[in-house]
């Protein structure tokens, strides 16, 4: 059972690469946020904390994660999305998987130039009807007719928070909080950096090469 941790700043394509990994390798995609929201459906205490924006204790998160990793769909391997968030969680996670059937822990850092990431966010527009996403700042992602969906002709819309100021703040906070985690995994020798500023297929090919070479 292989553990894959994806570390990625905003607009690095973590969701896209997770989907491709699931499709190619049959890995389980595990989001701690999704796990907590599922538990909140029948746990009023967790529901109240989430609704109030309070942090859920590590003990609860690790208990849920431990149970989730025991599921059959994790046998081939799993992708951790949004976890760990800090070095303390990373250390505790390393301790937890020592007692589980985890053969390797691979950390892939999807690195991306800030300007490229900004274009992905600021130029993003989507169809409110069929949900297809475009980007009016990246040539290969532009709609054929400006402002209209290629598939259904609906007028494209833009999210109000997809602006350079909001993105800049998110990006800087991310790196400030994540830098110690990147250093931790680099020192352990399990961190692999991938340039995610390229096309999704090129990025995925590079991730494939990392995973396949580790099997040899």
Answer yes or no: is 70 within a domain.
Answer: yes
Range of the domain at 74: 2-112+178-215
Single out the catalytic residue among 68, 148, 170, 193: 170
For residue 54, is it within any domain? yes
Q: Which sign does the torsion angle of CA 136, 141, 143, 149 carry?
A: negative
pLDDT at 37 over 80: yes
Beta carbons of 154 and 128 less than 8 angstroms apart: yes
Per the prediction, the chain carries an average pLDDT of: 90
Residue 216: is its pLDDT beyond 70?
A: no
Using alpha carbons only, what angle is made at residue 119 by residues 118 and 120, rounded to the nearest 5 degrees?
Answer: 90
170 is catalytic: yes
Cα distances (angstroms) measured from residue 46 to each of 3, 35, 39, 51, 57: 26, 11, 7, 9, 10
What pLDDT score was predicted for residue 202?
A: 95
Catalytic residue among 76, 159, 169, 200: 159
Nearest to 8 by CA among 161, 156, 130, 182: 182
Residue 14 annotated to the active site: yes
* CATH number of domain containing 192: 3.40.50.300
- Within-domain flag for 210: yes
Contact 12, 110 (CB under 8 A): yes
Query: Which of 2, 14, 119, 120 does the annotation list as catalytic?
Result: 14
Q: Is residue 158 part of a domain?
A: no
Give the active site residue among 47, 49, 85, 92. 85
Evaluate if residue 54 carries a pLDDT over 90: no
Number of structural domains (the chain) is 1
* Residue 26, pLDDT above cutoff 80: yes
Q: For residue range 156-215, what is the model confidence (pLDDT) as tens digits? A: 999 888 899 888 888 888 888 888 999 999 999 999 999 999 989 999 999 999 999 887
The answer to whether 80 and 58 have CB atoms below 8 angstroms apart is no
What's the average model confidence in pLDDT over 28-49?
A: 89
In a domain, 147, yes or no: no
The answer to whether position 83 is within a domain reads yes
In a domain, 197, yes or no: yes
Cα–Cα distance, 83 to 32 (Å, whole number): 7
In a domain, 42, yes or no: yes
85 tagged catalytic: yes
Q: What is the mean pLDDT of residues 23-34?
A: 90
pLDDT tens figures, 104-141: 899 999 999 999 999 999 999 999 999 899 999 988 89
Catalytic residue check, 159: yes
Q: Is 100:182 a contact under the CB 8 Å cutoff?
A: no
Neighbours of 22 (CB within 10 A): 15
Convert the pLDDT of each residue in 56-97 to its tens digit: 888 999 999 999 999 999 998 999 987 898 899 999 999 999
The beta-strand segments (E) located in 89-158 are 104-111, 124-126, 133-135
């Amino acid at each position: 059972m292989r553990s894959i941790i994806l570390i990625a700043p905003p607009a690095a394509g973590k969701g896209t690469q997770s989907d491709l990994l699931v499709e190619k390798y049959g890995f389980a995609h595990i989001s701690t946020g999704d796990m907590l929201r599922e538990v909140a459906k029948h746990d009023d205490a967790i529901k109240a904390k989430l609704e109030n924006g309070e942090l859920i204790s590590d003990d609860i998160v690790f208990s849920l994660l431990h149970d989730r990793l025991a599921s059959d769909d994790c046998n081939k391997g799993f992708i951790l999305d949004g976890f760990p968030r800090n070095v303390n969680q990373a250390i505790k996670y390393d301790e937890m998987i020592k007692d589980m059937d985890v053969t390797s822990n691979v950390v892939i850092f999807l690195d991306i130039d800030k300007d490229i990431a900004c274009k992905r966010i600021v130029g993003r527009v989507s169809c409110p009807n069929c949900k297809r996403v475009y980007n009016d700042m990246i040539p290969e992602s532009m709609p054929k007719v400006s402002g209209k969906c290629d598939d259904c002709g609906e007028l494209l819309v833009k999210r109000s928070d997809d602006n350079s100021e909001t993105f800049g703040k998110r990006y800087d906070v991310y790196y400030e909080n994540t830098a110690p985690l990147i250093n931790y995994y680099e020192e352990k020798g399990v961190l692999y950096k991938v340039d995610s500023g390229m096309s999704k297929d090129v990025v995925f090919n590079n991730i494939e090469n990392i995973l396949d070479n580790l099997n040899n």
